[in-house]
Amino acid sequence: MSPIISVSNLSKTYGSGFKALKGINLDINRGEIFALLGPNGAGKTTLISIICGIANPSEGRISIGGRDIIRDYRAARSMIGLVPQELHTDAFESVWATVSFSRGLFGKPKNPAHIEKVLRDLSLWDKKDNKIITLSGGMKRRVMIAKALSHEPQILFLDEPTAGVDVELRKGMWEVVRTLQASGVTIILTTHYIEEAEEMADRIGVINKGEIILIEDKATLMQKLGKKQLTLQLQHKLDAIPPALAAYNLELSDDGHAVTYDYDTKGDRTGITSLLNDLRNAGIRISDLDTKQSSLEDIFVSIVRAP
Amino acid sequence: MNYRAIQAIYLFEMARTWRTLLQSIVSPVVSTSLYFVVFGAAIGSRITEVEGVSYGTFIVPGLVMLSVLTQSISNASFGIYFPKFAGTIYEILSAPISYFEIVIGYVGAAATKSIILGLIILATAGLFVPLHIQHPVWMLTFLVLTAVTFSLFGFIIGIWADGFEKLQMIPMLVVTPLTFLGGSFYSVNMLPSGWRTLTLFNPVVYLISGFRWSFYEIADVSVGLSLGMTAGFLIACMVIVAWIFRTGYRLKN
C-alpha cells in the first residue's frame, strides 16, 4: 500500500542560516500511529509545520495521499488535522463556535451532529457554550483536538499532546487516540514521554539535530528492550570462567569479582535457575545479585548522544 | 473557491464586532457627536458658511470619512494581527484556503463594519444638522471604495506589525494627521496658495473631496481625479497584499 504521507529529501534552512532539517526522508503508512521522538530543538515541530503548510520547505517534496502539498495544497491540507504544541485558542469564543469555525475553514458543510460527537468523545459536551478563556489547560488542549477533528481529517498531527497534562488526562487522551485509529485515522504524534511512544505507537522514529536517525517498528524495538542483564557479585576472585559454564556466555569483569549474564525475558526459559545450580556445582559462591533492563529511554539517550 | 472558509472568517470577524459593540460602534458615535459640538456649534457659529453650505453641514462628509478611514484601518489591522499575536493563525495557514480567500474574509468583514459605522455616523449627524445627499449612489460608491481600500491598508499594517505599538503607529502618526489636514473641517480653497499646493500631495484630500461632492456638489478637486486617486491607492494596496502572500512576509517562515 502506498504511504499516506511521503516526505522526500526535505531540508529547511531558516533565514538566520540555522539548518533545522537536513534531508529528511519519511513515509507514514495509512492507519498507523507513528511516534516521532526527539530532544527539544531536534526539528519535530518544524517538520510538522512544513507538512501542514505553516512553514515553507527550503528543499524537497512532500505528498499527502499522493497530492503535492504545494501544487495541490487544497486537496492535501483538507486531509490533515493539526493540534499544535502551544495552546493557541480564541479566548472569547465559545467551544461550539470555535470548533464549528474550524470546520467551515476547511470547507466542510455544517454538520452539528458531527461536532456534537467530537465534543462528546472528548468530554467537552457540557462545556460547549463556555468561553474558552474559562477552561482549564487540559480542556483547552481537548478543544484544540476537537478543532482538528471538526473536518473529519484522515491524518491527525498531535504535537506533544500530553505535555503538561496530568496522568489521568493523559490516559484519557491515549484512549481518544486509540479510538481514532480504530476509525481509520492515521496519527503522527511527537512526544517527550518515551512511555507514551511505548504505549501508543506502531512505529517509532527518532529525530535529532534535523536528521532522522532511526525508524523502527515498535515490536522490533521492544524486542531489543526485552534483553535483561544479570550481574552476580562473587565472594572469591575468579581467574577464568570454568569450561562447564561455557554455554551461558558469561562475561567476567576485569577485577574477576563479577560475572554478567544476558537473557531474554520474553523467552520460555531464562536459564537463571540452571545457571545458579551450575555455579553452585562449580563451587562458585555468590555474594550479591542485580538485574538491569535497558529501556527505550536508554536506547533513545544513547542514540541521541552519539556523536 | 472555498466559499465556506470565506464565510467562516467573515462571520467570525463580524461576531467579534458584535461582541465588542461598545468600542466598535458606540465610541466613534460619541466622538463624532463631540466633533459636532466643538466644530459645529462652537466654531461653526463664527464661520457660518463654506461655499454656500452651512459649516455644520459642510463638515459632515469629512467626519464620516475620518471615522471610516481610522476604523477600517484599525478593524482590519487588529483582525489579522490578533491571530498572529495569539498564535491562532496556525489554523488559517494550515487550512485549504487561498490567500485571496483569506483577504476577502478579513477585509470584507472590516469594510462591512466600517461602512455600517459610516452610515450610523451619517444618521447621527442628521440629528445635528439638516442633510441633503445629491448623489446617493456616488456617496455609497465612495464610502465602499474607501472602506475596502483602507481595510486592505489596515490588513497590510496588521501583517507588518510585530507589536501593539506598531499597530497604533501608522494610524496615529500618519493617517489621523493626513485626515485632519485633508480638508475634513475646511475647504482646501480656504488655504493660502502654497499650502494648497502642498495639500494636493495628501491622498486623503481626494477621498474627502469626492465624498463631499456626492453630498453637495462642491469639491476641492475634480470628481474624476478623486475616483482615480482612490482606485489607484486600492490597486497599490492589492499589489502589496499579493506580494505579502507570495513571499509569506511575516506570516510564514
3-state secondary structure of A29: coil
pLDDT digit string, tens, across residues A96-132: 999 999 999 999 999 999 999 999 988 899 999 999 9
Q: Which of B148, B149, B135 is nearest to B210 (CA)?
A: B135
Domain ranges of chain A: 5-223, 227-294
Q: Which of A105, A140, A157, A158 to mutate to test the interface with B (most CBs of B within 10 A)?
A: A105
- CB contact A202 to B (< 8 Å): no
Stretch (H or E) spanning A64: strand A59-64
- Chain B: give the shortest CA distance to residue A3, in Å: 21
Q: Which residues of chain A neighbour B15 with C-beta distances below 8 Å?
A: 93, 97
A88 with B86: Cβ contact below 8 A: yes
If pLDDT is split at 50, 70 and 90, which confidence band does A229 have? confident
Give the SS3 label for residue B115.
helix
Residue B172 backbone phi and psi in degrees, to 5: -75, -45
Task: Decide if B2 and A89 are in contact by the 8 Å CB cutoff.
Answer: no
CATH architecture of the region A5-223: 3-Layer(aba) Sandwich (3.40)
Chain B within 8 Å of A17 (Cβ-Cβ)?
A: no
CB B27 within 8 A of CB B35: no
Closest residue by Cα to residue B213 from B53, B9, B3: B53
C-alpha cell at B67: 471615522
Which positions ≥6 away from B71 have C-beta within 8 Å? B24, B28, B113, B114, B117
Nearest to B88 among A49, A89, A109 (CB): A89
Separation of alpha carbons B249 and B160, rounded Å: 8
The average pLDDT across A270-291 equals: 88
CB contact under 8 A, A105 and B19: no
How many CB pairs lie under 8 A apart between chains A and B? 76
CA dist A299 and B148 (Å) reads 59
A101, A93 in Cβ contact below 8 A? yes
Q: What architecture does CATH give domain A227-294? A: 2-Layer Sandwich (3.30)
pLDDT at B12: 94
Chain A CA closest to residue B9: A105
Report the share of chain A in percent with pLDDT over 90. Answer: 54
Task: Count other Cβ atoms within 10 Å, centred on residue B31.
Answer: 15
Distance from CA of B176 to the nearest CA of A (A): 30
pLDDT digits 0-9 by tens, A74-102:
999 999 999 998 888 888 899 999 999 99
d(CA B148, CA B153): 9
Q: Which chain B residues touch A109 with a CB distance below 8 Å?
A: 4
Closest-CA residue of chain A to B86:
A88
Q: How do beta strands A59-64 and B49-50 pair?
A: unpaired
For B28-53, write each residue's pLDDT tens digit: 788 888 888 887 777 777 877 888 88
Phi, psi of A264 (to 5 degrees): -110, 115
- At position A97, the amino acid (one-letter code) is A
**Secondary structure of residue B95 in the 3-state scheme:** coil
Under 8 Å between Cβ of B90 and A88? yes
